[in-house]
Amino acid sequence: MSNTTRRDLLKGGLAVTAGLAAGKSSAGIPDPLITQVQDWATYTGDGVDATPYGMPVEYESDVIRRNVPWLTADSISSINFTPVHALDGTITPQGCAFERHHSGAIDLPKEAYRLMINGLVDTPLVFTYDEIERFPRENHIYFCECAANTGMEWAGAQLNGAQFTHGMIHNMEYTGVPLRMFLNEVGADLSSQNWIYVEGADASSNGRSIPMDKALDDCLVAFKANGEALRKEHGYPVRLIVPGWEGNMWVKWLRRIEVIDMPVESREETSKYTDVLEDGVARKWTWVMDAKSIITSPSPQSPILHGHGPLVISGLAWSGHGKIVRVDISQDGGMNWKIARLGKQQGDSKALTRFYLDIEWNGDQMLLQSRAIDETGYVQPTKEQLRQIRGENSVYHNNCIQTWHISENGSVENVEVS
């Protein structure tokens, strides 16, 4: 790797820097940043009392969640998007992690928090926040993806930016208590044919039915993300984590869990969060988020600003079915593929994987695509393949291969190839 790289780099953009060592900029102009004492070496900076809670540096103030007003009628039942185009690695800081609300983010103090578990149980119980903190805890890193992520792509290349096409995803380390411990605590009927119905404390309540086997498998009643308390907009003080399954089921401000013998068929699992096919028939119980990937840079909001030569292609891959085992990258719209370099998966199998491809860019146009393959052998489909099976009526579960067109000047556009 480092041999290739070195050759590439000396041949490429970095050759110019040889001049800099002599105090010249790449344009050959004397560079005061090298020839003179740098400004910030002449005075002292901010003291440690300046930032009790640290914020991003002003120069990065454009790396924020953004919403698209025309997508929804009202911002209290809406979405904002993670700036995936500007992030790297795998962890999403809470401050950048997308929000999706059905009736706004509510203000719920720990002292007023209650979790009731009732239904097919020996002893219905209500837990305070302090009581939840007394159960054995676990930590897991999981991705959370909204079922509607990339939904606008069904109808074509409509949103010009990875933040908007793929930004309804985040990946955090959660601290919480396995849901099975609470179900044991109340003496729930744990038979496989049973379900749980989970509700939030917000006005929408956002109720969802979850099969008992999933509830007992890896669901987590979480109160911390990336080490600190959940943010208000992510369900403070307690939310449900449903690893690998659509974000709508990760109920925020978790208020009630009812053990039932059949699903409720609530609004959120009938008129919403079902996938209408070409013939009008709707697929329901489509919970798992299938293998998917996106090239985050270069992308429309992260164009190539440097010259020819070495180019780092960076992206994210994930699967609700388990580990990502391979990611392929095409520079020609899917005709030829190269195997990407996968970063170590930090944390659990249902977490984001970062991938890279280090190439030499000669200024030619590219149709960049990435294709994820998970441990089940499932291969991320093309948009065409997905439409053949699902039509174009759905807004959910679009995990198709995304195409970015790179022009000679390095600008990037969201396009379709057929």
Q: Tell me the window of 35-43, 274-282, 324-332, 369-377 that interacts with a second copy (CB under 8 A).
A: 35-43
- # residues near a second copy by CB under 8 A: 136
Surface-to-core class of residue 67, CB atoms within 10 Å of its CB (0-12 exposed, 13-18 middle, 19+ buried): middle
Q: Tell me the window of 160-168, 262-270, 286-294, 348-356 that interacts with a second copy (CB under 8 A).
A: 348-356
Among 11, 283, 284, 306, binds a second copy (CB under 8 A): 306
Contact map string, positions 47 to 86, toward a second copy, x by CB under 8 A: xxxxxxxxxxx-xx--xxxxx-x----xxx-xxx-----x
Least distance from C-beta 148 to a second copy, angstroms? 13
CA distances from 404 to 84, 97, 160, 409, 412 (A): 15, 23, 9, 14, 6
CB 100 within 8 A of CB 146: yes
For a second copy, the binding residues in 152-191 under the rule CB under 8 A are 172-175, 178, 180-181, 184-185
CB 329 within 8 A of CB 337: yes
Among 217, 332, 358, 413, binds a second copy (CB under 8 A): 358
CA distances from 374 to 18, 81, 302 (A): 44, 25, 27
Q: How far apart are CA 27 and CA 31, in angstroms?
A: 10
3-class secondary structure per residue, 199-226: EECCCCCCCEEEEHHHHHHCCEEEEEEC
For a second copy, the binding residues in 310-329 under the rule CB under 8 A are 310-312, 314
Among 158, 232, 387, 410, binds a second copy (CB under 8 A): 232
| The residue count for the chain | 418
Least distance from C-beta 381 to a second copy, angstroms? 27
Cα of first residue to Cα of last residue in the chain, in angstroms, is: 34
**Which residue, chain included where needed, has tokens 């449903």?**
242
Least distance from C-beta 389 to a second copy, angstroms? 32
Dihedral sign computed on CA atoms, order 342, 347, 349, 354? negative
For a second copy, the binding residues in 104-163 under the rule CB under 8 A are 104-110, 112, 114, 116, 118, 123-128, 130-131, 133-141
- Closer by beta carbon to a second copy, 6 or else 283: 6
- Closer by beta carbon to a second copy, 241 or else 401: 241
CA angle 146, 169, 197 (to 5 degrees): 40
- Closer by beta carbon to a second copy, 209 or else 349: 349
Decide if residue 407 touches a second copy (CB under 8 A): no
For a second copy, the binding residues in 9-28 under the rule CB under 8 A are 9-10, 12-14, 17-18, 20-21, 26
Cross-strand bridge partners of residue 368: 404
- Closer by beta carbon to a second copy, 409 or else 418: 409
Decide if residue 46 touches a second copy (CB under 8 A): yes
Cα 91 to the center of its chain, rounded Å: 9
